[in-house]
Structure 1
């Protein structure tokens, strides 16, 4: 069975939500996890700290390294990378999960919010990859996985929140570029995006949603695990959805991931009718490889 036992993951935004769930899934395999986030003391509105996440990871069977880090600052990223390598001996996997969201139209978007989204989303995705790559290149199965959508230039995804959309697509363009740049070196670089909205703190930023119509972060954690355990030279350059990955490995019942049984979750942003990307030949080819690997494993 494919496992992350002994692998070292560097996960941004790992103190809560999707990042923490990915960390816990890896911890159950016996992985090492560097928890990269700013929250080292309880937040008045948001659950979890790097320390509470570390305790959960250790309890799940992994080894945790909580590192208070502002990923807008490259010197702090460099320090976190150095501490991770010193503690665990290297880095095998980078998860670019941290993200800033502000769903406002242009005239209601302060430039400080524009800057924040681009610093945390696009810039930090590039900066963390740049800092981790010298160590990833030494790994026997290196992966970079970024929580960003398939590039989609349909105007509907820009009209109501241009600034946010640009910042998220910037993350995806980093995936596109790095996958091509490091293909010969065997570093897998992929993006993963949910087909439906996920129960996280960011969900509260989307107005008008009925409570409970979402999925749990576990669906992304399970999909991420399937990608991260696959051979890095075979599965790279993909813009995957959670459903497409799970279907490829034989999971077709998504009801257990629903936050409220029997309530259909809302669809997420940036996806068209072909929500699983199967009309994209590149994605379809990678999903076939992913499925074949896991069926053999």
Structure 2
């Protein structure tokens, strides 16, 4: 039996990047996956759409459905888990991946933009967890994974290797730190009910189709980049095992648990790091 056979997972921010990779990996392990994004089609110049992500999983033999929702619309998200449950049944696994940042110095971020960031990065994951709890309790178990960031701590080497970038991500890191703290509290509250809450952050820059800006860094410093499959493998572990209240980093968790990093379809081992020669191959 596959690891997530019979389970239903709901993943936000799943049209591209880490969210899409997690959806693919979970589907390969037998989960029914409901992917959520703010629109079904293209979003500006960003690569990847919700429709494409769902079609790709279904074409490969998995089971996937799309749920469109503007998570910043409080009314639209009020019954989101109920709507998502109509596709394959109650949600066993909730992955809160959707997030936003404000590209400005902390001293220049307006209250409006700061509230928007904290709403999506903190309030939405907490609200969706609250919505999912009745179904998880009824089924006797559940998993909540909140995607975090290394910016919750001061990076040893700031992303993009500049003082400006470190200051910009500081405000984003504050919101992710708040989410991590709330996740720890939820974890200890809900663990007796076999509902496992954890947070997961990449240990390095995750090279996805939308991360073209890091390719030069990856060519010069491969150890500063990790494959998106690393995050997907770590997410799979946190959404299938009885782990409680971890604020985990992808590579550390994979090594600690002795896991093999597999392709998103689960068919082959890929290793846990990029070589410089691999960067252009992922373009």
Same fold (TM over 0.5): yes
Return the TM-score normalized by structure 1: 0.77
Match of residue 18 from structure 1: 18
| Cα distance change, pair 90–199 in 1 and its aligned pair in 2 (3 A) | same
Shift of 1:26: 0.9
Match of residue 190 from structure 1: 198
Give ranges in structure 1 of 5+ residues lacking alignment: 265-297
Paired residues for 1:102-251 under 5 Å? 102-149=102-149, 160-161=167-168, 162-200=170-208, 203=211, 210=217, 212=219, 213=222, 214-231=225-242, 235-251=243-259
Match of residue 292 from structure 1: none
| Cα distance change, pair 136–202 in 1 and its aligned pair in 2 (3 A) | farther
Higher helix share: 2
Show CA shifts across 1:134-170 (max 9, x none): 1122234310011114795669899713421211112
| Cα distance change, pair 105–62 in 1 and its aligned pair in 2 (3 A) | same
Shift of 1:258: 3.9
| Paired residue secondary structure (1:64) | strand
Return the TM-score normalized by structure 2: 0.80
| Paired residue secondary structure (2:21) | helix
Give ranges in structure 2 of 5+ residues lacking alignment: 159-164, 262-268
| Paired residue secondary structure (1:221) | helix
Aligned partners of 2:166, 2:206: CA distance in 1, in Å?
22
**Contact 2:150–2:203 at 8 Å: present in 1 too?**
no
**Contact 1:26–1:62 at 8 Å: present in 2 too?**
no
Show CA shifts across 1:34-75 (max 9, x none): 111113121231112221111112123321120111112343
Show CA shifts across 1:104-147 (max 9, x none): 32234244432221111011111111111111222343100111
> Once structures 1 and 2 are overlaid, which stretch shifts more, 49-58 or 250-259?
250-259
Match of residue 161 from structure 2: none
**Aligned residue pair count:** 260
| Cα distance change, pair 12–126 in 1 and its aligned pair in 2 (3 A) | same
